[in-house]
Chains A and B, each alone.
Chain A
């Protein structure tokens, strides 16, 4: 039972344009959402998070949007840079430290 889904396995964008990565979830008890970035042969790196009491959180080039009624969140990267090329995971938690992850989206930013 996959409670967190990233339906796009890959995404390719041009440098300087916006990257939008999407994530859907099924468990309405999730109250905290996170995005991670992962390079090959490394552990995931925390990017940005959002609590269910908010609908938007920004950190530099990264913005996460949460639509609770649709059980959907998205990560916007503006402007996209070649160094952003990686696999991005979304994750959700109903209680602290019991995290469920999506399968990941591989982002390629072309120069």
Chain B
């Protein structure tokens, strides 16, 4: 049981390049989400998914796309990278139990856009 895995751990992009951050979970959770963390700020929700084929925008969705074709995978795409997207990105998978839930986070991807 690997939990939530993210690849790559580090990435440097040039402005205008595109890339996909990978996220996978093996806990069969329906809910998955992507956050970014910037210095002096908490995690901000980019996009989330409540199940395969269903995605929705979070607090800061601009410049990012997501899809959810399987329960296990939730990739985050940057279509045209900008320096403002330099950040640490965390993927999370959520376990729900009645009215309570717990989020499990991946180790993060540190992205630098030059």
Contact = CB atoms under 8 A, between A and B. Distances in A.
Interface of A: 4, 6, 32, 34, 36, 41-46, 49, 51, 89, 91, 96-104
Nearest to A42: B107
A41 B108 contact: yes
A99 B42 CA distance: 11
16 contacts: A36-B105, A42-B108, A43-B107, A44-B103, A45-B105, A46-B103, A49-B101, A51-B99, A91-B42, A96-B94, A97-B31, A99-B43, A100-B45, A100-B59, A101-B42, A101-B43
B64 to A, nearest CB: 16
A103 B103 contact: no
Contacts, number: 67
A96 B104 contact: no
B107 A99 contact: no
Nearest to A9: B40
Give the interface size bracket for B toward A: 20 to 34
A6 to B, nearest CB: 8
A32 B45 CA distance: 16
Interface string B15-31: 00000000000000001
